[in-house]
Amino acid sequence: MKQLVFATHNKNKLAEVQAILAGKYQVSGLTELGITEEIPENGNSFAENASLKTHYVYERLQLDCFGDDSGLEVEALNQEPGIYSARYSGQGDAANTQLVLQKLQGESNRKARFKTVISLLVDGQEYFFEGQLNGTITHVPRGTGGFGYDPIFQPEGYEITLAEMSMAEKNAISHRALAMKQLLDWLLR
């Protein structure tokens, strides 16, 4: 089975991607390969941050790799938290979620989207893939699955949040799954 390196330390992201690519690729995260330091994400866009990750890994290991940057963009908050989604409050997932809910108090426009941009480096050539999932922000967290903002994100066409879905249900519609499908289609072309 072919091997790919996913430029992440996030165990939740790694598990999602491993489930999506199961049977097609063996996916390793950074920790498994001895890279323990955090890769700086100081780009101005999801694409720049994804690219920073893959170039860092490729230069260190000389292995084909991919990295993503993902985040929540809330329309009423001028697309915040955006590229700062993981560190929005500076205090982790629960605090990030509460900060979004606090900022949306009294706001009727609760439209939001999850966005993922993947950078793939193969033989030194870079390719980009993007996925997006539209939805709304709930008034209270619901569900115990998923991670990050999943408990407050209700996808369009659904009555439940991402955190109320099974991993299989979430992986069928998520922003990351949509970008990963494009990546997989490219890899299997």
DSSP H helices, 62-140, are 93-103
Considering 64, 69, 93, 150, which one is annotated as catalytic? Answer: 69
Q: Which residues, at least 6 apart from 180, have a Cβ–Cβ distance to it below 8 Å? A: 17, 20, 21, 118, 129, 131
CB 6 within 8 A of CB 27: yes
CB 14 within 8 A of CB 29: yes
Which residue is listed with tokens 């694409």? 47
Closest alpha carbon to 79 in 108, 119, 111: 111
CA dihedral angle for residue 171, residue 173, residue 175, residue 178, rounded to 10 degrees: 90
CB 11 within 8 A of CB 17: no
Is residue 150 among the annotated active site residues?
no
Helical packing angle, 175-187 and 11-20, nearest 10°: 50
Q: Which residues are catalytic?
A: 69
